[in-house]
Structure 1
Amino acid sequence: MCYTNATYLVKSHYRKEVIKMSKKIFFINGFGGGREDSLELRDSLEEKGYEFTYLDLPGQFGAKDVTIDDFEELLAYFEGYFPDEEIILMGHSIGAEIAAYLSTRLTQIERVIMLDGGILTNEDVGKTLAESMEETKEVLSQIGGDELSEEGLLELMKLNDAMKLTIIRPDYKTPTLLLLSDSEEELPIKMQRLEERQNPYVDYKVIQKASHNLYADQPDLTVKLIAEWLANARI
């Protein structure tokens, strides 16, 4: 299959009944992604009438001193930020996997948006968890600064590995949009995994000319696709 001649590709499993959607979007960034990196994304979403709330990933920036050791601690950390009403939870990279997992534990999460994450395991890219952690330690050392906690982020990697792709579980039923970059290195295996692990509650779109940080590379297009999906979301 060729992906080079279209701005984006869409695969949908929409259902029949249209419902009123929440306009509150909470965003969990990935490793090293700060609040300032999501400003264009925030502005574009707010222009379309959505409320945008940024959440610090445990172990970095505003939550640098937070270390999460198990799933219950992860749940308690994020649950404290959410209102007692329906919300849309969006995540990038490891934040995407966390968003999907949280939706299986918290009933107020009515929709999930995953930005280039939550579709591949370490094994899919030929690595062990230990190898991935060593690579992450190297990247964190290159970034430097005092806003990232190596211990906190590596503990989060262990939990992420234990999740083992929430969206492929038979009982995963949260309506989800998965946006993927067109990285030549990883897109073929992502598409293969999507075909092998089909879930009728997960729609995916491939954004061309975008790196892993697709929401920063293509903020307007990313928001356009999100808004279109939410406007047409069905149950």
Structure 2
Amino acid sequence: MEKYRSSMLALVLVMAVFIPAMARSASGGNAPAAENPAATATNQRIYCMSGWERFLPGDYYACRARYHLQRQHPHQAIHMLKTAAYWANKDAQHALGLAYINGDIPGIAANRALGIAWLALAAERKNADYVRDYSTAVLRSSPGELSDASKLYVKLGKTYGDRVAGKRATDRFVREVKPLDDAAAMGGNTAYISGLTPFPQAAFSLSRKVHQHAEKTFEGLQGTVTVGVLERIHAPTPALRERYEAGSPSK
């Protein structure tokens, strides 16, 4: 059957967009835009900042998938994609769908029904590109393949669907970002997060960067808590100050 596009190229393009953004979020700098993201991602050595695993593990493990793909470790790349998918990363779910439909990643046998199921999960948030790829896969599939895909979608959805994985990811984010938010709300505090910040930074600025990245990661996710960007307050409440002084704001 006709292939849609290269699974490897799709993953390169996804990570070419994500990695520079992740680096800018941690450093606060403005990296120049690349004219050819796919070529840039292929040529530049990939570095995944471990500190993101604490807040947004889906994004971190998707980056690790790109890291292994660049080094021609296909099995490790697929394992990292599935880990990212567990944390509701739709880019990873989309890449898995293409990989199973195309069968163009070494060691990953083509499985059209499984690929369609992953593409259906990736399209949950109505990303136009992902909806298009899912719709195309459905139109080009037999009734038997669609029947199998439907069963696999239900099975995968119990672990990887937004209703479960999305809640898992947002719950983790809210829990892990709270100490940083508390420090930011105090005003004048600094925070250092191993693997994310090279040196202590203003807690408020760092919190805003983390929230801004989370908003992009969870865009389109329904039925979960809102992870909005912090707004500066004039003074902390006595209860907040007491809670902050009782424990460390961040690792």
Band the TM-score falls in, shorter-chain normalisation: under 0.3
**Structure number with larger C-alpha Rg:** 2
Which structure's residues are more often strand, by fraction? Answer: 1
| Greater helix proportion | 2
Provide TM-score, normalisation by structure 1.
Answer: 0.27
